[in-house]
Amino acid sequence: MEETVMHVMKRGAITCSREASVREVAQIMAMNRIHYCVVVNESHEVLGIISARSILRAFGKDLDFTKAKDILLPYTITITPSSPLSEAIDLMVRKRIEHLIVVSDRPGSKVVYGLLHGEDLVFAMAGRKEAKP
Amino acid sequence: MTMVCDLMHRGVLYCYPDDSAKVVAEMMADNRLRSVAVVDESGEVWGSISMLDLLKLYGKDLEGTTAEKIMRPYRIEVDPQWPVEKAIDLMKKGKIDHLLIIDPHAGPKRPVGILTSFDIVLYMSHVERGTYEQMLRIPTTS
């Protein structure tokens, strides 16, 4: 059986609103020790993702006035839990992103289900069971 | 002025060019890293392997691939005395998350530390390194 995204992904994601300031987003990332933050709208539909590298884009600007919506990478790739894992990895390598947002496979719905982390894939490659909390 | 050496991690985790990709994957998983430096026997840096370079091999023969085959050659020299803005500029332009820091005083091509994009996030958020761990620590009487 072909391995799908469902087997490796983690459920749930840490999110922020698009009106959050960059300082808030940086604090969310620093306090939770994560390298990403998913930007969602009021009905929890995904708008984009902010990675550690996108935070750098705001360096030198006023962090309280720059908003999450100004620096986010817009969400364009649709990955669902039933997508084949090889396709997801291919996307990660090609677009040079370490986290893929997994959304519901109901058409038209963009509610966040979870994330596929590069870290979890490396764990699987090393033969380790699961990332330590 | 904040310099690269104020924010970088001291010390670099490295492997040798003829180590297998499996060793690199284990190293990354056990230490929770996103990149590993590749150095030769004399300690000179040859390149680095990021998580994305390793992911290309998912489901393929890990034991039969050497680190030399998947590494990216090292070209950018970052000095620990540089202002941090210069390093951030490099990260933005080159779309790199990890910069290897080379100290000219330690000898040619000797890596002394690593600067990641997450270190910059910590710096910009003003959350001190280790705050989270301190918040979780249960107070003891001793």
Nearest to A57 among B22, B92, B122 (CB): B92
**Is A115 contained in some domain?**
yes
Inter-chain touch B117–A125, beta carbons under 8 Å: no
Query: What are the structural domains, with CATH classification, of chain B?
Result: 4-136 (3.10.580.10)
Please report the pLDDT score of residue B134 as a whole number.
Answer: 53
**Which tops the pLDDT comparison, A131 or B32?**
B32
**Is A132 contained in some domain?**
no
Residue type for position A122: V
- Residues with Cβ within 8 Å of A10's Cβ and at least 6 positions away in sequence, in order, are A114, A115, A116, A117, A120
Q: Using the structure block, give the residue that is written with the tokens 């330590």.
A: A132
Asked if A14 has any chain B CB less than 8 Å from its own CB, the reply is: no
**Is A79 contained in some domain?**
yes
The residues pairing with B49 across neighbouring beta strands, listed in sequence order, are B36
CB B67 within 8 A of CB B38: yes
A positions 24-43 inside 8 Å of B (CB): 26-27, 29-33, 35
Domain limits for position A93: 5-126
CA B89, B113, B49, B34 torsion-angle sign:
negative
Inter-chain touch A93–B25, beta carbons under 8 Å: no
Please report the pLDDT score of residue B138 as a whole number.
Answer: 45
Asked if B26 has any chain A CB less than 8 Å from its own CB, the reply is: yes
**Is A53 contained in some domain?**
yes
**Stated pTM of the model:** 0.80
B94 Cα to chain A: minimum distance (Å): 11
Please report the pLDDT score of residue A133 as a whole number.
Answer: 46
Please report the pLDDT score of residue B56 as a whole number.
Answer: 87
Number of domains in chain A: 1
Inter-chain touch B58–A52, beta carbons under 8 Å: no
Residue type for position A64: D
**Is A133 contained in some domain?**
no
Inter-chain touch B125–A96, beta carbons under 8 Å: no
The residues pairing with A45 across neighbouring beta strands, listed in sequence order, are A111
Q: Average pLDDT in the A22-43 region?
A: 87
Inter-chain touch B120–A55, beta carbons under 8 Å: yes
**Is A85 contained in some domain?**
yes
Please report the pLDDT score of residue B82 as a whole number.
Answer: 86
pLDDT in tens, A62-92: 888 888 888 888 888 878 888 888 888 888 8
> At residue A41, does pLDDT exceed 60?
yes
How many residues are there in chain A? 133
What is the residue-level pLDDT of chain B in tens, covering all 142 positions? 788 888 888 888 889 988 888 888 888 888 888 888 998 888 888 888 988 888 888 888 888 888 888 888 887 888 888 888 888 888 888 888 888 888 888 777 888 888 888 888 888 887 655 555 555 554 444 4
Asked if A1 has any chain B CB less than 8 Å from its own CB, the reply is: no
Nearest to B88 among A59, A119, A131 (CB): A59
Inter-chain touch A122–B51, beta carbons under 8 Å: yes
**Is A106 contained in some domain?**
yes
Of B70, B66, B40, which Cα lies nearest the Cα of B55? Answer: B70
CATH number at residue A102: 3.10.580.10
Asked if B34 has any chain A CB less than 8 Å from its own CB, the reply is: yes
**Is A82 contained in some domain?**
yes
Asked if B2 has any chain A CB less than 8 Å from its own CB, the reply is: no
Copy the structure tokens of residue B54. 């390793």
Residues of B within 8 A of A63 (CB-CB) are 124
Nearest to A98 among B51, B120, B127 (CB): B51
